[in-house]
Amino acid sequence: MNGTKILNIFGFEVEEEPASIYPYSPVYRVKYGNRDVVVKRTQKRAGNVMSYTNMLKDKGINVVTPVKLQVDNPQKYEDTNFVVYPFIEGEKYSGKDNEIYEAGKLLGQIHSSSPVSNVYDLLVYDVYDFNEEEVKESMEAINQHAQKAGIRMDPGLKTKLLESVANQQELYRANLPHVATPHDFKANNLILIPEPFLIDPDNAAWIPKIFDLALALLLFHNEHEEAPDRVFTKGEWELFLSGYREYIDITDEEKSFWEMAKQHVFLDEVMWLMAEYEEHSC
């Protein structure tokens, strides 16, 4: 990826290849006049995402939206869309109770602001096609990583993952309530000013609401150095939910599918992270 050319298409004059401030994808911090901005990759439906995030901002929700430039923003470079956002100054999440509570409130605000249908034409979640072979291959890799790290894996994990494969169609047919959401609600995507401010809405999608909640439960602390090296404790999760429920309820139907949804999100989002552990820990 040619960072210089990416910055040039937005009018930022740089000659040396910029360094990314994020290890897993190109994210460049540059000066625009007297303020700092961030140039980062966004999804193919860039215009749809920006319309959605502008709606959230108009409702008073703390989320980044594109900076007004002399050129179009976002822009496409080769086959990839890039967007320029303001650089948000503030503190990083550190796992304090009030931070967890406020993060829950922010996700509740976002979900409660969703339209009742996919009017922004966001990507529709449709990952209900895992198979047993994928689970077996991933478990082989996970067990190898665990042995090298001296960790004993729960022998019941493979059984749970295979159960999730078997339950996929039931979840699909359940037609659970969907929401428009940034769908990457994690500590590393929040800046505290002091309230949480979402700095990465670019995975925005139309997805079952409890899938997005399950993602927060399982991966909120992932990729964040100051966060605890674990999932939420039961008490922390109740705190997160107490903030969340100030803005939106979880229906009885959603509660009845919660365990199944949580396992499905583990299958979809966590299994591959564990299987690719060495790559993501280098």
> What topology is assigned to 3-86 in CATH?
Phosphorylase Kinase; domain 1 (3.30.200)
Q: What residue segments make up the domains of the chain, in order of their start? A: 3-86, 97-281
The per-residue pLDDT for 278 is: 56
Selection from 124, 54, 68, 92 nearest residue 196 by Cα: 92
DSSP assignment of the chain: --HHHHHHHTT----SPPPPSSTTS-EEEEEETTEEEEEEEE-S-HHHHHHHHHHHHHTT--B--PPP-SS-SSEEETTEEEEEEEPPP-BPP---HHHHHHHHHHHHHHHHT--SS-TT-PEEP------HHHHHHHHHHHHHHHHHHT-PPPTTHHHHHHHHHHHHHHHHHT-PPEEEE-S---GGGEEESSSEEE---TT-EEEEHHHHHHHHHHHTTTT-TTS-SSPPPHHHHHHHHHHHTTT-PPPHHHHHTHHHHHHHHIIIIIHHHHHTHHHHH-
For the entire predicted model, the pTM comes to 0.92
- Taking only the tens place, the pLDDT of each residue in 105-153 is 999 999 999 999 999 999 999 999 999 999 999 888 888 888 887 888 8
The per-residue pLDDT for 154 is: 82
CA–CA gap between residue 131 and residue 265 (Å, rounded): 15
CA–CA gap between residue 135 and residue 165 (Å, rounded): 8
Selection from 250, 224, 231, 222 nearest residue 107 by Cα: 250
Return the CATH class of domain 97-281: alpha beta
User: Which stretches does DSSP call E strand in 43-101?
Assistant: 75-77, 80-86
Average pLDDT for consecutive 10-residue bins of the chain (282 residues)? Answer: 89 87 88 94 96 98 96 94 96 95 98 98 96 90 85 85 94 96 96 96 98 97 81 96 98 97 94 72 42
Phi, psi dihedrals of residue 193, rounded to the nearest 5°: -130, 35
Cα angle 20, 23, 28; round to 5? 20
The per-residue pLDDT for 229 is: 78
Q: Do residues 68 and 50 touch, judged by C-beta distance below 8 A?
A: no
Q: Do residues 11 and 72 touch, judged by C-beta distance below 8 A?
A: no
**223: which 2 tokens?**
């990729």
The per-residue pLDDT for 46 is: 96
CA–CA gap between residue 198 and residue 29 (Å, rounded): 17
CA–CA gap between residue 49 and residue 204 (Å, rounded): 6
Torsion on CA atoms 265, 266, 267, 272, rounded to nearest 10: 120
